[in-house]
Structure 1
Amino acid sequence: MVGDIKLTFIRKKINALELNPPRVLALGFAGLIILGGILLNLPIATKSGESIGFLDALFTSASSVCVTGLVVVNTGEFWSLFGQIVIICLIQMGGLGFMTMATLVALILGKKITLKERLIIKEQFNQETMSGLVRLTKYIILSTFAIEGIGAILLSTRFIPKYGFIKGVWFSIFHAISAFCNAGFDITGNSMVPFVGDIVVNLTICLLIIIGGLGFSVYIDVSRNKKFNRFTLHTKLVLVITLILIVISTIIVYLIEWDNAGTLYNLSIKDRTLASFFQAVVPRTAGFNSVDIGKLKDTTVFITIILMFIGGSPISTAGGIKTTTFGAIVLTTISVIKGDRDVVLFKKRISQEIINRSLAILSVGICLVTVVSLILTISEEATFLDLLFETTSAFGTVGLTRGVTPSLSKFGRVLIILTMYSGRVGPLTMAFAFAKKQKSKLNNYRYSEGNLFVG
């Protein structure tokens, strides 16, 4: 009798685990990382035919699945064609979400999408209802492949003449996927530095990064409604914040770095402008670079850290706390200063629940980045600014580094793996977790207010 009760209890716990969408997503990403680590640990994955070691393979897999781009070895020089294919497949699955890829396989095989799978898809895409989820997934898959295909064609006009047909085509496909998924992995050996003045390469990579970071819901809204005044509040805020961040950061990078011999000084005015624009786009959140990141001035480094922390937009391939979170906090601050009762944007009031979630996500993000950075100062031989840069890059799933990644200790690599994982999974599930806790704790009574002095 007791044994039957225990068995029933265990079954209930297992069922609860399976039906918890945030947990399924987190475990799914973890499983994908481990699988990728096993494949990349195979001797066939390296050009030398020798295993890289499971920790470094796991690090590369985590960086790929979390679409980060931090690497312990040069991707183009170290990994074989098999290894590079594994990496780009992990990037594609990580960028779209493993449930999107699982749905694609199910659709190809003609299988039905179950209720449990729909719940997980709903969680992954941050949707309010389950209506039209399969149609949304199909749209995301088709639009992704179409955009990446166009990007690859544009890049091939530069890569094929430089690297030859077969190598040029492969380079075009790899970098188009890496850019759209905001991963930042490159197989040129030196990122986009060889193309610092190439308008086609720079603008193609930047547009792929921007489009990938806007979010799938924005594509749908823009394609349906066409005009700005018809867009949803979410789309309007994403577009406005994205435009403001790109324009302001481009101007700041240009003004700060124009006399820096290690970055922009030796370039023409056209190339300086192009490089400034490129470095303003990539921190949100794709780790390409067209100038030497290690030679940036400290001011530019700090600006880049802020951009990496903000990241892209929700329901996209980007990381960070997200543009809408940043926008909600800025608007709240302005409203408090002005003494407004509500936070209003485009004649729409932002709910207190969204504001609370935004503040919670910001607080958790700051705490995680700060704690990890401080721990790394104990285990690693690098300046605090470089370690803060590395940690924020991992949390924001960016992939930019100031030369710290290859020299990380084993402990440091494990810590960065966990940070990348938290950055990729955390923003995906945090808001839902807070909302559920809030709903589950509703009571029929409220405590009286107490006075508190702040500021």
Structure 2
Amino acid sequence: MALKLPLAHTGALTWSDAIFTATSAVTVTGLVVFDVGAQLTWFGEFVVAFLIQLGGLGLMTFAVLILAALGMPLGITGQVFLREDLNHHSMHRLLGLAGTVLRVVLVCEVAGALLLALTFVPRLGLAEGMWAAVFHSISAFNNAGFSTFPDGLIGYATDPVVNSVIPALFIIGGIGFVVMRDVTGGRPPQAWSLHTKIMLLGTGILIPWSVLGFAALEWNNPGTLGQYDSTIARLVVSWFQGVTTRTAGFNTVDIGQLHDDTSVMFISLMLIGGGPASTAGGIKVTTFVVMLLATVAFFRRQTQLHAFGRSIGLEQVLKVMALTAISVLIVFIGVFIMTVAHDGQFLDIAFEVSSAFGTVGLSRGITGELNEVGRTVIVAIMFLGRVGPLTLGFFLATRTTPRIRYPQATIHLG
């Protein structure tokens, strides 16, 4: 409704445009059906930035911070909801974690805006440059991928400030607040939680894989890296586009010019996403790592799953299986419906659906061409991708205590 106000836009804006954009912002996805910088006024861009901030923090975290500021008690029910929202297993010090989230957000976004202003202000002027810096800092830290520039960040593809500040913001935002608390809490690495160790290990493997994979596949593509004569420039662009793919959705190359094999690699990275209790989407890095560990344990005939000297319970493994299965099902159904509605664009559709589910925001250029059916499907998938498949499963399922135990039988698998 705010985006539909006359002071929010400069041209015609339909209800479909407003709903799609609002959903994309609050789910920190970044898919757009129009040029944000040209179509929206400063007020409209402020509405988008506010929705990004709200969606990135998480509704429960935001509500808790407001209640704390007003001096109102949270209550047991609120603590339970906050625990689920932050993916935290303990009720202890939840308000402290919410306070840590707020401090990290403020420090990172203010510092990011000031640094980005060094690049944007000289080019755009003081007022417009500062607003662009603030908007992109909020968008980057919350892994939203929204930009006020018509071609994204292509015009800043080799800018050193953009290529360092923007990735730093979305990596910190996407790695998870629990990890940030462990790393900055002054404890030695040996005392970090198993979650933090697995998250850092997975991130440390996925970042070089995506950067080097993008460089290898696109090095001679004239539509992407091939347009740069300098090896350094190609490596810089590979760095930015490689690390942004899993969560943030910014682009310094034309995504529509990617080779098909690169697009398939990007689809896999977008589905993995970032970390739990973060501003990122996807099935999450920890889920992916535990799934790989469970697969290795099965082939080694191990009866217990363990990592870094700690065991991982069967309930966690079942949770990973359920999350992966529901995610694959959602993506498959989305691709099927989108293919029916938009015949003949399978790779573009698969890329779009994966980007929506992973709340990434990258697109091969078909977002603006979606019909009403396609927009509805993408809106639903963005929502499910941000809320989380397990939340949907818990909402639909009922917990029952079995009264009868049946004899065990064997089925043939594989």
TM-score when normalising by structure 1: 0.87
* Superposition pairs of residues 143-182 of structure 1, within 5 angstroms: 143-182=104-143
Matched, 1:47 2:10: yes
* Match status 1:386 vs 2:348: yes
Q: Which residue of 2 aligns with 1:196?
A: 157
Any idea what the Cα deviations from partners look like across 1:211-266, whole Å, max 9, x if unmatched?
A: 11111111111122543222111000001101101101111111110010000012
Pair 432,71 (structure 1): closer, same or farther in 2 beyond 3 Å: same
Task: Please give the alpha-carbon distance, in whole angstroms, between the structure 2 residues aligned to 1:428 and 1:151.
Answer: 33
Counterpart CA distance in 2 for 1:135 and 1:249 is 34
Measure, in 1, the Cα distance between the counterparts of 2:297 and 2:137. 41
3-state SS of 1:186 partner = coil
Q: Which residue of 2 aligns with 1:299?
A: 261
Distance 2:157 2:96 in 1: 40
SS at match of 2:388: helix
Contact 1:357 1:431 (C-alpha < 8 Å) held by counterparts: no
Cα distance in 1 for partners of 2:404, 2:199 equals: 37
Q: Residue 395 of structure 1 aligns with which residue?
A: 357
Q: Determine the C-alpha separation between the residues in 1 that align with 2:88 and 2:395.
A: 14
Give the direction of change, closer, same or farther, for the CA distance of 1:286–1:418 in structure 2 (3 Å limit). Answer: same
* 8 A contact 1:311–1:319 mirrored in 2: yes
In structure 1, C-alpha distance between the alignment counterparts of 2:6 and 2:14, rounded to whole Å: 10
Structure 2 CA distance for aligned equivalents of residues 195 and 186 of structure 1: 12
List, as ranges, runs of 4+ consecutive aligned residues in structure 1 with deviation greater than 3 Å.
430-434, 440-446
* Structure 2 counterpart SS, 1:184: coil
1:59 corresponds to 2:20: yes
The answer for the alignment partner of 1:310 in structure 2 is 272
Alpha-carbon contact 1:152-1:172 (below 8 Å) kept: yes
- Report the residue type matching 2:316 in the other structure: I
In the alignment, residue 78 of structure 1 is paired with which amino acid? Q
- Distance between the aligned counterparts of 1:119 and 1:341, measured in 2? 32
Equivalent of residue 448 in structure 1, options 389, 407, 412: 407
The C-alpha deviation readout for 1:110-131, integer Å capped at 9, x for no partner, is 3332333222212211222322
Provide the rounded CA distance (Å) in 2 between the counterparts of 1:164 and 1:72: 27
Could you tell me which amino acid in structure 2 is paired with residue 451 of structure 1? T
The change in CA–CA distance for 1:54 and 1:433 in structure 2 (over 3 A counts) is closer
> Who is 1:404 aligned against?
366
In structure 2, the partner of 1:237 is 198
Q: Tell me which structure has the larger Cα radius of gyration.
A: 1
TM-score for the superposition, normalised by structure 2:
0.96
* Partner residue in 2 for 1:255: 216
CA–CA distance in structure 2, aligned partners of residues 429 and 287 of structure 1: 24
> Contact (CA 8 Å) 1:319, 1:427: kept in 2 or not?
no
The residue that corresponds to 1:75 in the other structure is: 36
Question: CA separation of 1:431/1:246 partners in 2, compared to 1, >3 Å: closer, same or farther?
Answer: farther
Greater CA drift, 265-274 or 108-117: 108-117
1:329 and 2:288 equivalent? no
Which of 334, 337, 347 lines up with 2:309 in the alignment?
347
Larger CA deviation: 103-112 vs 376-385: 103-112
Distance across 2 between alignment mates of 1:118 and 1:215: 19
CA deviation after TM superposition for structure 1 residue 382, in Å:
4.7
- How far does residue 190 in structure 1 lie from its aligned partner after superposition? 1.4
CA apart distance, 1:56: 1.2
CA distance in 1, matches of 2:254, 2:316: 39
Alpha-carbon distance change, 150 to 427 in structure 1, aligned in 2, over 3 angstroms: farther
- Secondary structure, counterpart of 1:349 in structure 2: strand
Structure 1 residue 447: deviation in Å?
2.2
Write the letter of the residue equivalent to 1:85: F
Q: Partners in 2 of 1:226 and 1:263 — Cα distance? A: 43
Most deviating of 316-325 and 146-155: 146-155
CA contact (8 A) 1:361 1:430 kept: no
Q: Confirm or deny: 8 A CA contact 1:65 1:91 kept in the other structure.
A: yes
Instruction: Give deviations 1:161-188, integer Å, cap 9, x for gaps.
Output: 1111111111111001101100000002
The equivalent of 2:234 in structure 1 is 272
Distance apart, 1:304 and its partner CA: 0.2
Alignment of 1:135-146 (within 5 A): 135-146=96-107
Cα offset, 1:105, TM superposition:
2.4
**Post-superposition offset of 1:431:** 7.6
Does the CA contact (< 8 Å) of 2:156 and 2:252 recur in 1?
Answer: yes
Can you list the C-alpha shifts for 1:316-354, whole angstroms capped at 9, x where unaligned? 000000001101101111111222222221111111111
Gaps of 5+ in 1: 1-37
Q: How many angstroms apart in 2 are the aligned matches of 1:432 and 1:244?
A: 31
Are the counterparts in 2 of residues 69 and 287 from structure 1 also a CA contact under 8 Å? yes
Q: Distance in 1 between matches of 2:39 and 2:227?
A: 31
Deviation at 1:428, TM superposition (A): 6.4
Match of 1:376 in 2: 338
Q: Does 1:211 align with 2:208?
A: no
| 1:417 Cα offset (Å) | 0.4
> What is the CA-CA distance between 1:102 and the residue it aligns to?
2.0
* Structure 2 residue ranges without an equivalent (≥5): none
